Amino acid sequence: MCNEKIHDLEQNELVGQRAVLTAFRPEHIKRYHRWMQNPTLKKDTGSEDLKTDTIEDIADYQRQIVNDENNKTFIILDTASREMVGDINLFISECDGTRAAEINVMIAEVSARRKGYAREAVKLAMEHLHKTHFIDRFVARISDMNFASTCLFRDRLGFLFESHSQIFSESTWYYDIKREDGALAPD
């Protein structure tokens, strides 16, 4: 079924060695708003069209995604400190019988970048969606100028190039899970 809910993560957390994925809750709004005031972050994450001028804009966004069955934003926390370091967005769809999830990840805190949070958060999300929602295909659309994300998805997570859009100046990368156990390589 295409319209499975991702609500199981709203009550629980996915915990890794470094990163924790938790639901985007009202207590996260203030810091998320601060992140979304950074024009470079908005450009790199393709969030320019997201209305984020005020804390109320972010609160509206947070309430909207809580009720959206196929689109979710989860906050990435540091496992030890429980401080917010970024977010991960998941968009579930079905096309020609193939269930897929588009994944966007952002490590907003500069001090947390290049420390493995994004890689672990993406792996946690992919493993969870594969096991609980039978998602076998994952997609990442990455701006041509976002070299860090291209390296993450291509080199660290093993995504393969699918296509390039000159109009949007972005490339589409994909990962198809073939393994029975749902584990993701490389480790």
Give this prediction's pTM.
0.85
For residue 151, the enclosing domain spans: 8-176
User: pLDDT band for position 39 (50/70/90)?
Assistant: confident
Q: Is residue 185 part of a domain?
A: no
Is it the case that residue 127 has pLDDT exceeding 70?
yes
Q: Is residue 116 part of a domain?
A: yes
Q: Is residue 2 part of a domain?
A: no
Q: Is residue 182 part of a domain?
A: no
CATH code, domain carrying 74: 3.40.630.30
Q: Is residue 183 part of a domain?
A: no
Q: Is residue 53 part of a domain?
A: yes
Is it the case that residue 1 has pLDDT exceeding 50?
no
Q: Is residue 35 part of a domain?
A: yes
Secondary structure of 104-160 in HEC code, one letter for each residue: EEEECCHHHCCCCHHHHHHHHHHHHHHHHHCCCEEEEEEECCCHHHHHHHHHHCCCE
Q: Structurally, how many domains does the chain consist of?
A: 1
Q: Is residue 23 part of a domain?
A: yes
